[in-house]
Amino acid sequence: MFARHIQHLTGADKNVDITPNFPSIFQLQNLHSLDIFMNRQGRLLLRHVKYLRILCLADTGLELLPKSIARLKCLKFLDLACNPVTVLPEWITELYNLQSLYLFGCKYLSDLPRGLGNLVNLQHFGLSFNYCPAEGLIRQLSHLQILPALQLSEGGFQIVELENLHHIKRGYLSIKGLQLVKSKQDAEKAHLSSKLRVEYLSLVWDNEDNHTNHDEILKALHPNPHLKKLLIKGTPKCCTPSKNSTC
């Protein structure tokens, strides 16, 4: 009967047997936190938990996510860092209560599900590869506090999508592909100066576009006054700051 009262279970060592040979291990109705190595025993255990809120599968050798995770509708924290996973299944976008999703070090992962915008409660989103979000995705994730590096693209992420992200916490904000911003007005809508908890800001132009006034755009991307570090890279010659320039 003791299993009914367990809320946190750790069995990260792949050699540890976390499924003793008695049925009470499958009565973990109250289990809230699980940190395990995803071997056969771990996969079996996931089938018997219903109300899990925290699931840590970092560095467990996962290439495919167990479908049993799709049943965890109460899940708020999912850590898949440092796994050789290549694809995130579409069903992950149905974990509507998810607040934290960590994919750091998933070097074989090149894309994310199109329905990721369904995760409207997502606050912490961690990636370590250049990801080009679909247009409108970041705008839908309006509760984001920690963002991955953002890459602008034609038909993809647009700078104006940062307009309603008022909850960005202290941390690092990186925006690449700024040569695609076509007007000062679009840049102003990002409201970087009002994102007061951003401490490190990286603004990157990937190539030169002589048809855009990048000097005005750079000024419109004026950061908040509490910034600790600012990196500006790849701006065209027309935007090279002069002695009297404020950009």
State the pTM of this model.
Answer: 0.78
Average pLDDT of 132-151?
A: 90
Whole-angstrom distance, CA of residue 152 vs CA of residue 179? 9
Q: What is the pLDDT of residue 45?
A: 65
- Per residue in 12-32, pLDDT tens? 444 444 444 434 445 555 666
Whole-angstrom distance, CA of residue 198 vs CA of residue 225? 10
Helical ranges in 86-165 per DSSP H: 137-140
**Which of 32-36, 84-88, 243-247 is least confident?**
243-247
Average pLDDT of 174-184?
A: 93
Name the CATH code of domain 2-129 (choices 1.10.10.10, 3.80.10.10, 3.40.50.720, 3.30.930.10).
Answer: 3.80.10.10
**Which of 39-48, 147-156, 176-185, 190-199 is least confident?**
39-48
Q: What is the pLDDT of residue 32?
A: 63
Average pLDDT of 224-233?
A: 93
Are the beta carbons of 99 and 77 closer than 8 angstroms?
Answer: yes
Can you spell out the DSSP letters for 162-215?
GTT-----SEEEEEE-GGG---HHHHHTT-GGG-TTEEEEEEE--S--TTS-HH
Average pLDDT of 60-81?
A: 91
Of the candidates 204, 187, 147, 139, the one whose C-alpha atom is nearest the C-alpha of residue 170 is 147
Task: Answer whether residue 102 shows pLDDT above 80.
Answer: yes
